[in-house]
């Protein structure tokens, strides 16, 4: 054997070893990019004053995750929802999101309540993890950064439509606005004020109340003195029935309007006859509009013996995992790593999602979405469809 043949023979196993090592490295990288399961985060109030509503929204989301996994998940891989409590409190929310991002390593998380959405936005942007706001309505949410999006229309959609409707269709010329003094109420109430005034109406009272208040007499007496034709109330889900009850006790019997937060069965339970005539927006189809919604409400009644608290919000939370799953499925097919950057890129590429309980939604660089504004009214002790506001 020549020296050249010996060198070639010795080099062959070395080359094979190098090729094998490269193949193992590539396989390891592929496996790293294609996890056995896919995770996303859900941060909602499970304790505190808003827990009654947060718990129903989490239940709705879990129903969707279970249904997705029963049908094969993400190309055969399990979809996991990591749920943490925010108490609807900004600082608690920050702690929860830090865990989802730093420990659980989720590419996307879902949260709600405007003050929480705003507080955790820097975490999403700094770590390039997508934040989906579902239910918070402050128009400022559209300006919180590249990684913060909403699937739920903001107040400049439904509140402005409601203000125009109050003036043009209901014929109300003088309105009072009563709002909670936090991120939920401040900007949205300004939207109502500006829109009603632009339509030709007059805002005769514009009063805020403290988020921790239980007695609203001071603000309500000012509203009563102004003698409005209609009162727009913009607070949190838990406090608005109390405010409305005290209105009626003080003889304020004018029509009350509000956003979707007031549309829940607890209002009728707490107010009884005093709830008659209250008008609220709903940004999701009702049971009479979509058979899937009728089946969904029937499931609540069968399993929980009641309607969900905040029906439209639970519809959006139910649909959120379907949108997340669609994006993760597309990423998995392309072999993309489950990072926030890849999730955001694929979300904007897909753009439009047809969802089971809320219909079509389009995500864009505007960070806003548009939906029909359904109006519901309490009639004969039940929330009933009233109209569609434009």
Domains annotated for the chain, with CATH where assigned, are 37-153+292-357 (3.40.50.2300), 156-282+374-389 (3.40.50.2300)
- The predicted structure's pLDDT at residue 265: 87
Euclidean distance between CA atoms 346 and 325, whole angstroms: 12
Euclidean distance between CA atoms 39 and 24, whole angstroms: 26
The distance from CA 70 to its chain's CA centroid, rounded to whole angstroms, is 24
Instruction: Give strand ranges (E) for the chain.
Output: 37-44, 78-85, 108-111, 130-133, 148-150, 174-180, 202-209, 230-234, 256-258, 279-282, 352-355, 359-362, 373-379, 382-389
Per-residue pLDDT for 282 more than 90?
yes
Which of 105, 134, 129, 120 has its CA nearest to residue 38? 105
If DSSP codes are grouped into helix, strand and coil, which group holds residue 174? strand
Question: Residue for token digits 């009884």?
Answer: 272
Per-residue pLDDT for 22 more than 90?
no
- The predicted structure's pLDDT at residue 7: 41
Percentage of residues in the chain having pLDDT higher than 90 = 86
- Provide the pLDDT confidence category of residue 266 given band limits of 50, 70 and 90: confident
Mean pLDDT of 168-178: 98
Mean pLDDT of 171-178: 98
- The predicted structure's pLDDT at residue 19: 47
Mean pLDDT of 335-355: 98
- The predicted structure's pLDDT at residue 222: 98
- Provide the pLDDT confidence category of residue 15 given band limits of 50, 70 and 90: very low
- Provide the pLDDT confidence category of residue 301 given band limits of 50, 70 and 90: very high
Q: Which of 96-105, 124-133, 223-232, 267-276 has the lowest mean pLDDT?
A: 267-276
Please, what is the end-to-end C-alpha distance for the chain in angstroms? 91
- The predicted structure's pLDDT at residue 33: 55
The distance from CA 71 to its chain's CA centroid, rounded to whole angstroms, is 25
- The predicted structure's pLDDT at residue 331: 98
- Output phi, psi for 207, to 5 deg: -125, 140
Mean pLDDT score of the chain, rounded to an integer?
A: 92
The answer to whether 180 and 235 are in contact (CB under 8 A) is yes
Euclidean distance between CA atoms 11 and 6, whole angstroms: 9
What is the value of pTM for the model shown? 0.85
If DSSP codes are grouped into helix, strand and coil, which group holds residue 336? coil
How far is residue 266 from each of residues 8, 121, 259, 262, 362, measured CA to CA in Å? 83, 31, 15, 9, 32
Mean pLDDT of 111-119: 96
Per-residue pLDDT for 34 more than 80?
no
Which of 358, 384, 355, 383 has its CA nearest to residue 372? 358
Euclidean distance between CA atoms 33 and 175, whole angstroms: 56
- The predicted structure's pLDDT at residue 80: 98
- The predicted structure's pLDDT at residue 390: 83
Euclidean distance between CA atoms 332 and 134, whole angstroms: 24
Mean pLDDT of 263-278: 91
Mean pLDDT of 74-81: 98
Percentage of residues in the chain having pLDDT higher than 70 = 91
Mean pLDDT of 95-110: 98
Euclidean distance between CA atoms 241 and 251, whole angstroms: 16
Euclidean distance between CA atoms 276 and 341, whole angstroms: 49
Report strand pairing: 174-180 vs 256-258.
unpaired
- Output phi, psi for 111, to 5 deg: -150, 175
Which of 268, 210, 225, 212 has its CA nearest to residue 244? 268
- What one-character DSSP code corresponds to residue 262? G
- Provide the pLDDT confidence category of residue 264 given band limits of 50, 70 and 90: confident
Q: Which of 7-11, 157-161, 225-229, 290-294 has the lowest mean pLDDT?
A: 7-11
Per-residue pLDDT of 211-222, as tens digits, reads: 999 999 999 999
- The predicted structure's pLDDT at residue 343: 98
DSSP for 138-155, written as a single string: -GGGGGS-TTEEESS--H
If DSSP codes are grouped into helix, strand and coil, which group holds residue 335? coil
Instruction: Give strand ranges (E) for 189-317.
Output: 202-209, 230-234, 256-258, 279-282
Mark 343-380 as b/e (b = at least 16 C-beta within 10 Å): bbebbeeeeebebbbbbebebeeebbbebbbbbbbbee
């Amino acid at each position: 054997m020549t020296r050249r043949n010996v060198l070639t023979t010795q080099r062959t196993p070395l080359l094979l070893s190098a090729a094998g090592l490269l193949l193992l490295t590539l396989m390891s990288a592929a496996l790293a990019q294609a996890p056995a399961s896919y995770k996303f985060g859900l941060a909602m109030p499970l304790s505190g004053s808003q827990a009654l509503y947060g718990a129903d929204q989490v239940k709705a989301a879990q129903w969707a995750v279970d249904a997705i996994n029963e049908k094969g998940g993400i190309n055969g891989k399990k979809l996991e929802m990591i749920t943490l409590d925010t108490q609807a409190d900004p600082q608690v929310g920050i702690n929860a999101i830090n865990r989802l991002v730093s420990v659980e390593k989720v590419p996307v998380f879902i949260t709600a309540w405007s003050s929480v959405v705003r507080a955790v936005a820097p975490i999403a942007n700094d770590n390039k993890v997508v934040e989906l706001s579902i239910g918070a309505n402050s128009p400022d949410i559209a300006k919180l950064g590249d990684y913060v999006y909403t699937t739920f229309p903001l107040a400049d959609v439904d509140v402005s439509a409601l203000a125009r409707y109050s003036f043009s269709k209901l014929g109300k010329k003088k309105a009072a606005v009563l709002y909670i003094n936090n991120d939920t109420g401040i900007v949205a109430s300004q939207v109502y004020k500006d829109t009603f005034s632009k339509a030709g109406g007059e805002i005769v009272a514009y009063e805020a109340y403290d988020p921790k208040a239980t007695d609203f007499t001071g603000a309500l007496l000012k509203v009563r003195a102004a003698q409005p034709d209609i009162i727009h109330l913009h607070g949190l889900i838990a406090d608005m029935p109390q405010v409305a009850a005290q209105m009626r006790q003080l003889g304020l019997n004018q029509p009350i309007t509000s956003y979707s937060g007031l549309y829940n069965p607890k209002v009728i339970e707490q107010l009884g006859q005093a709830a008659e005539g209250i008008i609220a927006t709903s940004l999701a189809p009702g049971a009479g509009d979509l058979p899937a919604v009728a089946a969904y409400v029937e499931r609540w009644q069968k399993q929980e013996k009641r309607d969900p608290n905040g029906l439209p919000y639970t519809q959006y939370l139910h649909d959120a995992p379907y949108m997340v799953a669609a994006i993760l499925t597309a990423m998995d097919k392309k072999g993309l790593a489950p990072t926030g950057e890849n999730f955001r890129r694929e979300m904007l590429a897909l753009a439009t999602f047809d969802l089971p309980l809320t219909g079509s939604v389009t995500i864009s660089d505007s960070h806003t979405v548009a939906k029909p504004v359904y109006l519901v009214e309490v009639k004969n002790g039940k929330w009933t469809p009233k109209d569609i506001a434009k």
